[in-house]
Amino acid sequence: MSSPSILYLVAISIGNSRDITLRALDILRHADAVVCEEVKEGKRLLAAYEIERDVIPLNEHNEGEQTDRIVDMLMDDKSIALVSDAGSPLIADPGTRLVQRCIEKNITVTSIPGANSIIPALQLSGFSIDSYLYAGWLSPKRDIRQKQLRDLKKEKRLLVILEAPYRIKPLLRDLKNILGSERRAAIAFDLTTEKETIYRDTLGALHKQFDRNPRKGEFVVIVNNR
C-alpha cells in the first residue's frame, strides 16, 4: 500500500514485463497518480498490469509547471509514483527538479528499486566488474563527444556508456579512434527480451561489424579498462 504525501520513484521493467517487482506493482495500484514522460506510454504501462490510475505527463516541455502541480498534490496528502519509460527513474530522464523540490518542502521521497540495464550489461560483459565508471550519455555532437572520450582515455575503470538506438555506429567509430582499436568491449542489446544479444570483441572489430550490419535497438556499451 502507498502512503500519503510520499513521492515514490518506481523502477519498472526494461524489456521483459515480468521483471517488475511485487512492491512496484503494489505502489502503482494504490498511488493517487502515476507520473511519466508521456501519457500514452504511461497508460500502456499500467494497462499491461491491468491497473487504472490517473497519469500525469512530466517531460522537458512542461517540467516547470508540472513540478508545481505535483508538489501541490503531495502537500495535499496525495501519493505519487514517478516512473520512467523503462528501468529506473531519473537516469537521463525528467524528474530531478521534482525530487529537489520535494526535498526542499520536506516531502518524503523513497525509491522502489528494480530493473535497470547497467547491472545486467556489466554482468554479461565477461569483464571483471569490481570497479566501473558510469559515463552515461555522451554528447550527440561529434566534437564534444570526442573531447569527452579523450578525457576518459586514461580512466582505469570499466566504462559504461549509453547512447540513442540510432547512434551506435558513430559512437563505435569514435571509441575505436580515441580509445584504441584493440581495446575490448561488450555491447548488450535489447536486454531481457527474446532478442537479447551480447557482442564481445575489440572496438575495431565491433565497429566493422556494425558498419557492415547496422542494428538499431536499446543498448549499453561496456569498454574494458585495458
What distances in angstroms separate CA 186 from CA 130, 160, 168, 194, 221, one per listed residue?
16, 10, 13, 19, 6
pLDDT at 124 over 90: yes
pTM: 0.89
CATH 3.30.950.10 fits 118-223, yes or no: yes
Q: C-alpha grid cell for residue 210?
A: 556494425
DSSP 48: H
With residue 197 as reference, give the H or E element that holds it.
strand 197-202
Tell me the average pLDDT across 209-223.
90
pLDDT at 163 over 90: no
* pLDDT score at 93: 85
User: What DSSP string describes 115-154?
Assistant: --SHHHHHHHH-S--SSEEEEEEPPSSHHHHHHHHHHHTT
What is the rounded distance in angstroms from the CA atom of residue 35 to the CA atom of residue 181?
Answer: 43
pLDDT at 217 over 90: no
Tell me the percentage of the chain whose pLDDT exceeds 90: 85
Q: Residue ranges per domain, the chain?
A: 6-112, 118-223
* pLDDT score at 166: 84
User: What DSSP string describes 66-78?
Assistant: HHHHHHHHHHTT-
Work out the mean pLDDT of the chain and round it to a whole number. 93
Q: C-alpha grid cell for residue 103?
A: 526535498
Domains 6-112 and 118-223 share a fold: no
pLDDT at 91 over 90: no
The domain at 6-112 falls in which architecture? 3-Layer(aba) Sandwich (3.40)
3-state secondary structure of 216: coil
pLDDT at 145 over 90: yes
* pLDDT score at 182: 96
